[in-house]
Amino acid sequence: MAVELEATEALARFGGRDGLVAILGELGRRIDDPDSDYIAYRLQELQTNDRLPILRKARELSIDSLSPEVREGIRQVEELFGYLDKSSDHG
């Protein structure tokens, strides 16, 4: 799990759009896996403590062009910490 969290952070910080899509896709794919909660909470920490714009970047993705797994990952992020940024009408 530690390696997955490090990969999540690296992709969030340095992976750009493709990195975020990979993270969100993994979240959506593993919706029933309790370990995916750790990934989601790590994203929340990056949003709040490190001030990475995870929510803004996720909301900017064109939903129509994304896989169902990525859309589910976005839904999970919105559900978990969408309240942190109400500058958008998403969630």
Contact 25, 69 (CB under 8 A): yes
The domain containing residue 35 runs over which residues? 2-83
pLDDT digits (tens, 9 = 90+) for 2-24: 898 999 999 999 999 999 999 99
Q: Is residue 14 part of a domain?
A: yes
pLDDT digits (tens, 9 = 90+) for 50-73: 889 999 999 999 888 899 999 999
Q: Is residue 21 part of a domain?
A: yes
* Number of domains comprising the chain: 1
Q: Is residue 47 part of a domain?
A: yes
Q: Is residue 88 part of a domain?
A: no
- Name the region of 43 (left: φ>0; alpha: ψ -120 to 50; beta: rest): alpha
